Amino acid sequence: MTETTTRIQETITANDVVLFMKGTKEMPQCGFSSRVAGVLNYMGVDFSDVNVLSDESIRQGIKDFSDWPTIPQLYVKGEFVGGCDIITEMTLSGELDTLFAENGISFDKDAADKIREANG
């Protein structure tokens, strides 16, 4: 394993929910990262953010690690969940609620329902 792969693995192992994104959860720097961070923030999910723009090795390394070409990338309990489109779809279908519940991740069910109502 490369040093970058090791750092990525340690990050997703040490944190229940990790979002590899452009920018930070407080200041996303692309629309897709902003959307996923916005969903997680709104649902009250405690997540760790990794700004790929501040580290070129992570920016490319996470794409290689997951074999997924785009950023953002969400990991829950060490498993790759998906990017913006997948997370949006899972939020609207309720699958994301189920994933969090099954993994013991705390989230605001009412907020998740409000997202679905607003987009239904």
Q: At 119, which helix (H) or strand (E)?
A: helix 109-119
Is residue 1 predicted with pLDDT exceeding 90?
Answer: no
pLDDT in tens, 20-59: 999 999 999 999 999 999 999 999 999 999 999 999 999 9
CATH 3.40.50.300 fits 3-119, yes or no: no
**Where do the structural domains in the chain lie, given as residue ranges?**
3-119
Q: What are phi and psi of 23, to 5 degrees?
A: 95, -160
Is residue 90 predicted with pLDDT exceeding 90?
Answer: yes
Residue 120: pLDDT band with limits 50, 70, 90: confident
Residue 30 annotated in ligand binding: yes
Query: Whole-angstrom Cα distance, residue 53 to residue 51?
Result: 5
pLDDT for res 115: 96
SS3 106: coil
Is residue 106 predicted with pLDDT exceeding 90?
Answer: yes
Cβ atoms of 13 and 79 within 8 Å: the answer is no
